[in-house]
Amino acid sequence: MSQVPPPADMTLQRSSRDATSVPTALAGWLATLLVDGAEPRVTLHSGVDANGMSSETLPLDVDWSEDGAARHGEYVARVAPAAADFPVFPRYELQDQYDAMRIVAERSEVPVPAVRWMEPTGAVLGTPFFLMDRVDGLIPQDVLPYNFGDNWLHDAGEDDQRRLQDASVGLLAGLHAIPDPQTTFAFLDPARHGHEGGSLLERTLARTVAWYDFAQADIGPSPLVERALAWLRLHLPTAPDGEAVLCWGDARIGNTIYRDFTPVAVLDWEMAAIGPRQLDVSWMLFAHQVFETITGMLGLPGMPHFLREEDVVAEYERLTGASLGDLTWYHVYNGLQWCIVFMRTGARQIHFGEIQRPEDIETLFHCKPLVERILDEAGA
């Protein structure tokens, strides 16, 4: 059984970037994109540390002149991490994220921030980035997790919590309803990056194996991950490729901005893919259960009534008319992905001197008890 680190250990340094140079660099870049004589001025705000473990998120304001009038814009820069900063993923396709958000905005009612400018070369900030509109609202926090208590979601009434839950499931239904996803989002097929052959789900699993290989090169292998992989290979579903949808990927309420318990912006598209709809539904459930496992081990009450599988599945099937069937394979698969995330974020914490390298890397896995339980129940 894994040991859960103190809550302070959940705060992660994401970058060694010198933030003081960012406003000048962005202003010079924007001057080439805005009208002549715009003379943009960039004000950088403090980063977002309560959510997310991968890309840098830099809130900023831009002021400029246009046609003799003062203009003001409020944006967020989504910046790929530098290789030296132990990124979570082997590659960061910022253009794919940008295009996925743009197409979702064009072809669905799912709220996404408007994407504005893309810088794909890394010449301005050292790594690629794009700017999107900043959206005001509240986000269920990851640090400390929202189900720990003393925050707007935990302290809300159960009617409002249920309203947020159902609306969040509605986001998945809206994304999965975008027609012809395999053509529209062909750039999200794992085959694009060399994971060819077999079914779409086989290619997806192959991409995850490559991700694990990338992670263990720095921190060593995980018996739990390899146990999960063996079971996944043996029980691979025969999901027809023709039933694939656009999967948000990191389908968590912690990646959503809400106002009055209603979603107003869907964030974090770096795990977007085409695949079975069950991937997203399982991820939303699994993410909450990770936090519930931690509260249980710490003796906190948590939110056991919230995001229950039977409720989420029933609402999703009501909205879509689709039958999800048994989600066990997808829970194991998403548990494996969470383990890999913790391998990479743990390696980063070691790199930045935030923690000592543990003798057993699986003590870094906040999700370990949950993954073990799911594997035991599956007979793995």
Residue positions annotated with a catalytic role: 250
Q: Are 380 and 223 in contact (CB under 8 A)?
A: no
Rounded (10°) CA dihedral 144, 149, 151, 156: 140
- 363: tokens are 């003590």
CB neighbour list of residue 168: distance below 8 Å, 6 or more residues apart: 253, 256, 263, 284
**Distance in angstroms (rounded) separating the CA atoms of residues 339 and 345:** 10
Q: What does the buried/exposed string (b/e) look like for 88-112 if buried means 16 or more CB atoms within 10 Å of the residue's CB? A: bbeebbbebbbbbbbbbbebbebbb
- Residue 180, φ and ψ in degrees, nearest 5: 50, 55
Q: Is the separation of the CB atoms in 303 and 283 below 8 Å?
A: no
First-to-last alpha carbon distance for the chain, in angstroms, is 17
Q: Which residues are CB-contacts of 234 (< 8 A; sequence separation ≥ 6)? A: none
Tokens of 46: 């403090």
Token pair for residue 353?
Answer: 């001197």
Q: How many helices (H) and strands (E) does the chain have?
A: 10, 9
DSSP 154: T
DSSP state of 114: P
- The DSSP 8-state label assigned to residue 192 in this structure reads G
- Dihedral sign for Cα atoms in the order 248, 212, 56, 367: positive
Closest to 247 in 3D by CA, of 211, 271, 267: 271
Distant-in-sequence, close-in-space partners of 141: CB < 8 Å, separation ≥ 6 = 50, 51, 151, 254
Cα 340-342-347 angle, rounded to 5 deg = 100
The tokens describing 129, both together, are 């980035």
